[in-house]
């Protein structure tokens, strides 16, 4: 009798152990699936973050694509920063495509890092130009200082990059930066199939025109009068002669950014 | 479930206490349902990318009997989830307040009104959202590890203990009772506290702000400057006016304060103030990795209690300004 009980208990224990083992194996498999799904999601987020500013990606994920596309545009006062490579056409004719792409990627990366570090969002790459916005995605009362400090960081970054290029015997890069602030339309724009976060309107157009004036004035960073009025007094500016630019009736007064009082040599 | 984090904040006693005192589940809500509160906190934590709070609330919902599938449905397909209309409206409000801040307060408030929330319920929703914003930053900025909490629902012994956890949670949660304000307040955010007069929330907020004010780890002026920068960054005019007056009473003149608020610097600031004024603005809209990187850079410039207190002050200011926008008629 007792042997039968022991036997039954043993069988029961073995069944239980078997069930526990099966459950454990199932848990392990589910855990592996979960980790794989999390890794996929991370890759997807990383891929998305290359296509649009982080905040936009988060908003799209949170709202679902349909709602976000309908809801996202609004008028805002924001600051537009336009960076362009000086002499790119000549450079592109001289260099092998593979070398040129490597140089360009290094340039884009360094410019984007400098802009990100100062709370700007890279809107898009236009040829060798980069357009970035400050205060377009989220309210930012310090957007003008941020934009100019970002421009100074791009100057520093290109200087460091040139040292690297020099070591490899490659030509130096130089940039022109134009910054302007004003009212524009911020949001997701584009076709049904492809949209991007953008800040549209005269601030971006004028920033691009002001950027072009850097060649004329032989300086690397120019800001408009509207921006100067909002800037910290520790940012050192030099007034430039007013110039007519395409698309704007009045001549545009600009200021070259020399640096900040903290960074002023001597 | 605030307790696992308290030990990280013990060097700053008022902050460790605030984590418990301000937690809505312990006798602060008189009108809002606790289940509604959990779902609201889950969605806001998801919006704020707070891995710790998100895991903690998920665990709490799971312990209370909500299935994993249901939790995932709430997280991923909010619009298709059969939640009560009032809960859906509270979530829409919470998302808007966390995403847009005080500038969207009027529209966010209208969402609640349209769903039939009374003024008192609305204030409690704003409190839950504001405190979730506070706790999210408090746990995200120092990167409090969330791994243990995330794994809990998968662990065999936790599954066994699930009914017990549910009982403990239910036993320790209780509704608040009306509590009159004992004395007039002259502290920062006095207007916000007054707006909650009659609710236990007013007493809890008053006690936390009073203890923060009395703490000598950072100077009062430094704390006020951080509060002022956050109020300015969020565009919360009612909070900004009150705090800016307090800064001036602490000896910083109007021109210098104007300079700080416009350019985040002024010659009158000392080194700690200069560093923390800039840090405060980083906490308003953040991406966790960048904010955590910038916070780590402060470790060489501040003592441990100073760093923890500055995280607490900035987190609290973010929560209170967002709360203030809803409960004070100014936006």
Tokens of B102: 């005080």
ipTM: 0.82
Please give the pLDDT value at position A72: 61
Taking a C-beta distance cutoff of 8 angstroms, is the pair A27, B154 a contact? yes
Whether residue B146 has pLDDT greater than 70: yes
Taking a C-beta distance cutoff of 8 angstroms, is the pair B313, B188 a contact? no
Q: Are strands A195-200 and A254-260 parallel, antiparallel or unpaired?
A: unpaired
Q: Three-state SS across B135-157?
A: HHHHHHCCCCCCHHHHHHHHCHH
Tokens of A122: 């890279």
In Å, how far is B262's CA from the nearest CA of chain A?
7
A54 to chain B: closest CA residue: B287
**CB-nearest partner of B232 from A31, A54, A141:** A141
What does the pLDDT look like over B89-100, one tens digit per residue?
Answer: 998 898 888 887
Tokens of B202: 């007013």
Tokens of B173: 């949660």
Asked if A62's CB is within 8 angstroms of B46's CB, the reply is yes
Residues of chain A with Cβ-Cβ distance to B290 below 8 Å are 116
What does the pLDDT look like over B190-246, one tens digit per residue?
Answer: 989 999 999 999 999 999 999 999 999 999 999 999 999 999 999 888 888 889 999
Whether residue A265 has pLDDT greater than 50: no
Q: B288-325: b or e for each residue (b if 16 or more CB lie within 10 Å)?
A: beebeebbeebeeebeebbbbbbbbbbbbbbbbbbbbb
How many residue pairs bridge chain A and chain B with CB atoms within 8 Å of each other? 39
Please give the pLDDT value at position A154: 97
What does the pLDDT look like over A40-78, one tens digit per residue?
Answer: 666 666 666 555 555 566 556 555 544 444 456 789 999
* DSSP, res B174: B
Scan residues 34-93 of A and list those with Cβ closer than 8 Å to B: 54-55, 58-59, 62, 64, 67
Q: For chain B, say whether A139 makes contact (Cβ under 8 Å).
A: yes
Going by C-beta distance under 8 Å and a sequence separation of 6 or more, which residues neighbour residue A82?
A: A129, A130, A131, A132, A177, A178, A179, A204, A207, A208, A210, A211
Q: Which is the CATH superfamily of the domain at B8-331? A: AhpD-like (1.20.1290.10)
Asked if A140's CB is within 8 angstroms of B79's CB, the reply is no
């Amino acid at each position: 009798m007792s042997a039968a009980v022991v036997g039954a208990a043993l069988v029961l224990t073995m069944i239980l152990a078997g069930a526990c083992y099966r459950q454990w194996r199932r848990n392990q498999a589910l855990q592996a699936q979960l980790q794989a799904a999390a890794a996929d999601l991370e890759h997807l987020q990383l891929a998305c973050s290359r296509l649009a500013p982080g905040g936009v990606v988060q908003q799209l994920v949170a709202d679902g694509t349909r709602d976000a596309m309908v809801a996202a545009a609004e008028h805002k006062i924001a600051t537009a920063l336009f960076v362009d490579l000086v002499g790119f056409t000549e450079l592109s004719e001289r260099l092998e495509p593979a070398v040129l792409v490597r140089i360009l990627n290094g340039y884009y990366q360094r410019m984007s890092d400098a802009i990100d570090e100062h709370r700007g969002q890279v809107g898009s790459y236009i040829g060798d130009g980069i357009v970035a916005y400050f205060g377009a995605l989220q309210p930012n009362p310090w957007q003008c200082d941020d934009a100019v400090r970002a421009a100074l960081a791009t100057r520093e970054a290109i200087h460091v990059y040139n040292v690297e290029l020099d070591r490899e015997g490659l030509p130096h890069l130089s940039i022109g930066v134009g910054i302007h602030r004003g009212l524009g339309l911020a949001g997701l724009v584009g076709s049904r199939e492809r949209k991007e976060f953008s800040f549209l309107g005269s601030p971006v157009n004028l920033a691009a025109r002001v950027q072009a004036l850097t060649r004329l004035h032989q300086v690397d960073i120019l800001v408009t009068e509207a921006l100067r009025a909002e800037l910290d007094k520790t940012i050192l500016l030099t007034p430039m002669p007013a110039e007519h630019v395409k698309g704007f009736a009045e001549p545009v007064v600009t200021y070259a950014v020399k640096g900040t009082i903290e960074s002023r040599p001597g | 479930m605030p307790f696992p984090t308290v030990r990280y904040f013990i060097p700053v006693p008022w902050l460790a206490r605030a984590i418990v005192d301000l937690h809505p589940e312990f006798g602060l809500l008189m009108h809002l349902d606790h289940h509604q509160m959990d779902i609201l906190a889950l969605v806001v934590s998801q919006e704020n990318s707070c891995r710790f709070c998100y895991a903690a609330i998920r665990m709490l919902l799971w312990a209370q009997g909500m299935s994993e599938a249901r939790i995932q449905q709430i997280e991923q397909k909010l619009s298709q989830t059969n939640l009560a209309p009032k809960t859906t409206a509270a979530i829409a409000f919470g998302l808007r307040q966390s995403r847009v801040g005080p500038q969207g307060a009027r529209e966010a408030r209208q969402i609640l009104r349209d769903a039939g929330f009374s003024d008192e319920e609305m204030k409690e929703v704003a409190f839950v959202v504001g405190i979730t914003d506070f706790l999210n930053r408090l746990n995200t900025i120092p990167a409090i590890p969330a791994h243990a909490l995330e794994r809990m629902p998968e662990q065999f012994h936790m599954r066994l203990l699930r009914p017990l956890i549910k009982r403990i949670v239910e036993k320790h949660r209780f509704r608040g009772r009306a509590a009159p304000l004992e004395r007039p307040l002259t502290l920062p955010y006095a207007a916000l506290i007054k707006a909650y007069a009659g609710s236990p929330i007013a007493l809890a907020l008053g006690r936390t702000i009073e203890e923060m004010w009395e703490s000598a780890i950072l100077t009062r002026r430094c704390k006020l400057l951080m509060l002022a920068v956050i109020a300015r960054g969020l565009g919360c005019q009612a909070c900004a006016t009150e705090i800016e007056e307090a800064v001036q009473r602490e000896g910083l003149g109007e021109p210098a304060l104007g300079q700080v608020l416009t350019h985040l610097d002024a010659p009158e600031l000392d080194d700690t103030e200069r560093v923390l004024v800039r840090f405060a603005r980083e906490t308003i809209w953040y991406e966790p990795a960048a904010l955590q990187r910038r916070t780590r850079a402060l470790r060489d410039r501040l003592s441990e209690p100073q760093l923890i207190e500055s995280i607490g002050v900035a987190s609290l200011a973010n929560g209170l300004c967002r709360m203030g926008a809803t409960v004070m008629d100014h936006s």
